[in-house]
Amino acid sequence: MTALPPFQTVLDEHSAAVMGILRGAVGRDGAEDCFQETFLAALRAYPKLTNASNLRGWLLTIAHRKAIDHHRARGRIPVPVAEVREVAVEDGVPQHDPGLWAAVGALPPKQRAAVALRYGSDLPHDEIAAALGCSPEAARRSLHEGLKRLRKELA
Amino acid sequence: MTTATERSIRKLKARAAAEGLLDVAYTSTDSPFGPLLLARTERGLVRVGLPNQDADELLADLAARVSPRVLEAPAELDEARRELDLYFAGKLDRFDLPLDWRLSGGFRRRVLRAIARIPYGQTRSYTEMARKAGNERAVRAAGTACGSNPIPLVVPCHRVLRTGGALGGYGGGLPMKEALLELEGVLDGRSGV
C-alpha cells in the first residue's frame, strides 16, 4: 500500500487539472462550486482511500460526478458532441432531452464514467483511462460498449 | 495558477475547517534561524519543524502518524506565529499555546512535559529531566526524548544541558541552541558556557 501524501500535495498537483476539466464540463460559473465540492468530497473520503497510486484518476472521477450533480440540479444537460449527438438526432430526440442523460446514468459504472468523461468532460481516451484506472484499450472498450448500449436503449 | 482556482482553494479550506476536516493545519514562518514549519491539530500545536529539517518529510510524517488531511492554512497558526515572533524578539518569556502531545508517548512524553516547565532563562540537566520523568537512571533515554522533541522552542529542549554545563545536542544544530540560550541570557556569547 502506498502511503497517502499530505492532502495539500494532492491539491497542489491536481487542482489545475480538476479546474480545467470542470470548466469544460459545467462552464466557468459552475466550475468554482464544483471544484470545492469535488475537493471537499475527496477530503472527506481521503483517509479511507486504500490506493494512492492513481489520485488524479480518483479526483477526476469525483469531479465528473460533481459535474453531473451540477447539471441535474440546474436541470441542464451538457451539450453532447460528436457521436452522442448523432444518436440523439437519429432518434429525433432533442439534444437536451433528459432521457439521454438518464440513459447514460443507467449504464454500468465503467461505461457511464467513460461516456460522461468523453462527452461531458471532453477527455481524450488516455485521460479517461487515467481517470478510470484502466488501460486506454479498456477505456475505449467501455466507451464503445456504453455507446452501443445507448444506441440500443434510445432506438 | 489562476485567480479563480486560488479563490476556490481558499473557499475550500474555509469550508473544510468549518466541517472539521482540517485535521492538520500547517504554515511556514520566518525566524532568525531560517524558516520554521508549524503544524497544529484541533487539540493544539503538534509539530515545530526547525530550519535544518526537511519540511516535506515532516509533512509526510504528519500525514502518516496523525491524519493525511494535512492542509496549508496559515491563519490557523496565527497565534503560534505571533508568540514565536515575540519570543525571538526577546519580548515573550512564556508560551501560552495549547499543545498536542500525541507524537510522543510514555517516558519520552513525561520527559517533554517536564521540559515544558523549565522557566525561561534557566537550564536543567538531562539527569534532572530523567528524574522528573520518574527514572533517574534513564539519562540516555531522557537525551533521546529531547532529541525527538516534536515541538522544539515551545517545549524548550534547548534549556537542557549536560551535567556540568556542556551543551549536549540539539536537533536544530548546536549553533542554534547556543543562540537561543544567549537570547535568554543564559550564555554571554562565549562558546561552551
Residue of A nearest to B26 (CA): A8
Q: Are B55 and B49 in contact (CB under 8 A)?
A: yes
Q: Tell me the pLDDT tens digit for each residue of B69-114.
A: 999 999 999 999 999 999 999 999 999 999 999 999 999 999 999 9
Are B15 and A31 within 8 A, CB to CB?
A: no
In this structure, which CATH number among 3.40.720.10, 1.10.10.10, 3.40.50.300, 2.30.40.10 belongs to the domain A78-155? 1.10.10.10
Domain limits, CATH 1.10.10.10, in chain A = 78-155
* CATH, domain range A1-76: 1.10.1740.10
Distance, in Å, from the CA atom of A21 to the CA atom of A31, rounded to the nearest integer, reads: 9
Q: Is B40 helix (H, G, I), strand (E, B) or coil?
A: strand
Around Cβ A72, how many Cβ atoms within 10 Å?
A: 14
Amino acid identity at B148:
S
Nearest CA to A11 out of B56, B87, B136, B69 is that of: B69
Q: Is B152 helix (H, G, I), strand (E, B) or coil?
A: coil
> Does the global pTM surpass 0.80?
no
Residue of B nearest to A18 (CA): B5
Nearest CB among A3, A7, A32 relative to B64 is that of A3
DSSP states along B61-95? HHHHHT-S-EEE-GGGGHHHHHHHHHHHTT--SS-
C-alpha torsion angle, residues A119, A122, A125, A127 (rounded to 10) = -130
Q: Are B176 and B184 in contact (CB under 8 A)?
A: no
B11: enclosing H helix or E strand:
helix B3-18
Each residue's pLDDT expressed in tens, for chain A with a length of 155 residues: 568 999 999 999 999 999 998 988 888 889 999 999 999 999 999 999 988 888 999 999 999 999 988 888 877 555 555 554 444 443 333 445 567 767 777 787 778 878 877 876 677 788 788 777 788 888 899 899 989 998 888 88
Residue B72 has a pLDDT of 97
Instruction: Name every residue whose Cβ is closer than 8 Å to that of residue B154 and which is 6 or more positions away in sequence.
Output: B45, B48, B80, B83, B84, B95, B97, B99, B116
How many CB pairs below 8 A link A and B? 70
Q: What is the ipTM of this complex?
A: 0.89
Residue A110 has a pLDDT of 79
Q: Which domains does chain B show, CATH number per domain?
A: 3-88 (3.30.160), 106-183 (1.10.10.10)
Taking the mean position of all CA atoms in its chain, how far away is CA B120? 15
